[in-house]
Structure 1
Amino acid sequence: MSDFPNQLGVHALVWVGDTSPGSVARAVHSTAAAGFDLLELSLHDAVNLDVGAARDALVAAGLGVACSRGLAFDADVSSEDPAVVERGATLLQESLRITHELGGTHLTGALYSALGKYGRPLGDAGRANVVAVLRELAKSAADLDMTLGLEICNRYETNVVNTAHDALRLADDVGADNVTIHLDTYHMNIEEDDLVAPVLAVGDRLGYVHIGENHRGYLGSGHIDFAGFFAALAQVDYRGPITFESFSSAVVSPGLSNDLAIWRNLWDDGADLARHARAFLAAQLEAAWSARSQ
């Protein structure tokens, strides 16, 4: 039995670049074999996802599931074009339905904008559209007893939410209890002053965590202060999922690789990467929770 209360997850893109039936089956098998509790599926490729088969595979493997996504510029809910916003709102509602049918209770990611570099700051009208769409999405999620996560992404991937302060302000404006904050150490490394203060600021509104190295490679091979971050998680009594996220152009589909600027192969063996990450996360969590109890 672990000395920490968190489920440990791994992003499916560690294993496969899409959500076709064969890829999902491989991701489920590999996730369970590596000792994780949860598989995160990106819905960027949802058109190829066999939801029923995926749910059956997850149940058979004893795995939990969470789903994440960003939007495209032609379905950007932060746009000032009503037709573009409507496409994004429809896509988000469909993503919520898929997550629910998979057996998940948490839809997270850049639910508020396209995933890509913007050429200007967010305008007031665009932000108002984000708030309106997320309010409706939160209502739909509440009806399904589900939560939403606002993932904080860096300035090169969105102009809506770049810091914990931004996310808290947006969540306050949406005004729904089931809208939570999603921290990601890779993005925090770019945008925050440190990795501790944002955790403390978010506190009990933290709903999901991504763990990624500063270059998105093997954990511990970069310069992120993971010990401080995990100690802060224990300090705020965070008991939710903690999911390892890492990308390499050896695995990620070309379209998403371009969106995320994955120009090099930081690794080519997902199984070795994931086993290392599982052990790294467990060691960090056990140390943090043990120190908290003393």
Structure 2
Amino acid sequence: MKISICLSTNPAKFSAVSFKGNLEKNIKTIRDLGFDGVELAIRDPACIDQSKILDLAVQCGLSIPAIGTGQAWGEEGLSYTDPDEKVREQAIERTLSHIPFAERCGAVIIIGLLRGIYPETIRHETAIKWMKEAFSICCAAARKSAVEIAFEPINRFEVNSLHSVREGLAFIESVGADNLGMLLDTFHMNIEEPNIEESIRLAGDRIFHFHYADSNRLYPGAGHLDFHSILESLYSTGYTGFISGEHMPDSDAELSAKKGINYLRGLFAE
């Protein structure tokens, strides 16, 4: 399996991104650590030099397997479930703006926090309806560019809807788009899934991308998750994409990333 790690293209509050800051330096560091790719967290594609970033990745021999969109929620409050229709429209437009760069990179677009956290005044059924409409619009546009979208189940302490793999699969089925799949994240799965391995097998060929972090959201090996068993289950589904590190940098981003990839490479060697 190929391994990537998350890199924010701009300053962000979200803590579970290993690398922030100097883009060129970080991409070269990720290459030197032995990663095969770099997953980009992008708040707004209009605010980055897309060609420069892609050129840097190519020069370093790194793929860009996925684009994270959650900073549009975290930094700007955009979401598919905001009570304000204009905010919902802006969230959809922001998602659509990722498609051209995703097409250039061959990247999956991840939708996790961008679903939003709807207030108690909004009925759950209404929020799901808004989400379904948003995903339908975005998937239809992305299909024209052969771009896939990955929905991420997120634990109950961070969002108030669609936490588990089973719930995610049912939602994807309701949207009915063949270019909509799932991003599975071991940190969230450790909280929500009765059995991580069984849930991975249940998701099967709907897995479009995969995030790794240990039980404490640090690098693999720093917590109690059985990554040998987890990766065996992922491999059994026929998944051939990237596994991507979205974990907290601890006190030293480079050292944490190094410990994580060395741990995983050791498992692969076994």
Q: TM-score range by the shorter chain?
A: 0.7 to 0.9
Distance 1:129 1:236 in 2: 31
* Equivalent residues in 2 for 1:27-176, closer than 5 Å: 27-44=26-43, 46=45, 48-65=47-64, 66-70=66-70, 71-72=72-73, 74-101=77-104, 103-110=105-112, 113-114=115-116, 123-176=124-177
* Aligned residues with identical type, % of pairs: 23
SS in 2 for 1:196: helix
* Aligned residues of 1:11 and 1:41 also touching (Cα < 8 A): yes
Find the partner of 1:268 among 247, 251, 266: 251
For residues 203-223 of structure 1, what are the alpha-carbon distances to aligned partners after superposition, in whole Å with 9 as ceiling and x for unaligned? Answer: 111111100011122321211
For residues 83-110 of structure 1, what are the alpha-carbon distances to aligned partners after superposition, in whole Å with 9 as ceiling and x for unaligned? Answer: 1211111111112233334x13211131
Partner of 2:213 in structure 1? Answer: 212
Distance 2:134 2:111 in 1: 15
SS in 1 for 2:266: helix
Question: Does structure 1 residue 7 correspond to structure 2 residue 9?
Answer: no
User: Judging changes above 3 Å, is the alpha-carbon distance between structure 1 residues 10 and 104 closer, same or farther for their aligned structure 2 residues?
Assistant: same
Gaps of 5+ in 2: 8-16
Letter in 2 for 1:223: H
For residues 34-87 of structure 1, what are the alpha-carbon distances to aligned partners after superposition, in whole Å with 9 as ceiling and x for unaligned? Answer: 111110111136454211111111111111112112242742112343212111
* Aligned residues of 1:195 and 1:228 also touching (Cα < 8 A): no
Q: Aligned-pair distance for 1:120?
A: 7.4
Cα-Cα RMSD: 2.1
Q: Aligned-pair distance for 1:200?
A: 1.0
Distance 1:122 1:275 in 2: 45
Letter in 1 for 2:36: D
SS in 2 for 1:177: coil
Q: How many residues align?
A: 257
Q: Aligned-pair distance for 1:268?
A: 2.1
User: Judging changes above 3 Å, is the alpha-carbon distance between structure 1 residues 67 and 214 closer, same or farther for their aligned structure 2 residues?
Assistant: same
Distance 1:235 1:210 in 2: 17
Gaps of 5+ in 1: 1-5, 18-22, 249-266, 288-294
SS in 1 for 2:4: strand
In the superposition, the TM-score normalised over structure 2's length comes to: 0.87
Distance 2:28 2:144 in 1: 32
